[in-house]
Amino acid sequence: MAKGYLKMVLELVSLLGGAENINFVTHCATRLRVDVKDSKLVHKDKIANLESVANVSQTEDGKCNIVTDQDKLEEVFSELKQTLDHKK
């Protein structure tokens, strides 16, 4: 369990419009991939300022790509997945 990232992940979920706005989350080698229901609820600029976030891009169809430190990606993803599982 990656408790060191819990605060960051809770803030990330909030900035993505809350757990109820997140359809699913996955990742690749360099980024978190988040599919959201309503992209207007996403605070992209604030997400970019989070610890360990290097860049954020967002498509009009509700997909967010959040580039994070590669050495922290798996732990952040794990904490995010656990957080979302507990909120649903």
Residues recognised as catalytic: 28
What the block records as the tokens of 74 is 């798996």
Task: Name, in order, each residue with C-beta under 8 angstroms of 84's C-beta and a sequence gap of 6 or more.
Answer: 13, 19, 22, 25
Amino acid at 75: E
* Number of residues that this document lists for the chain: 88
Structure letter (DSSP) for residue 63: E
Tell me if 32 sits within 8 A of 52, measured CB to CB.
Answer: no
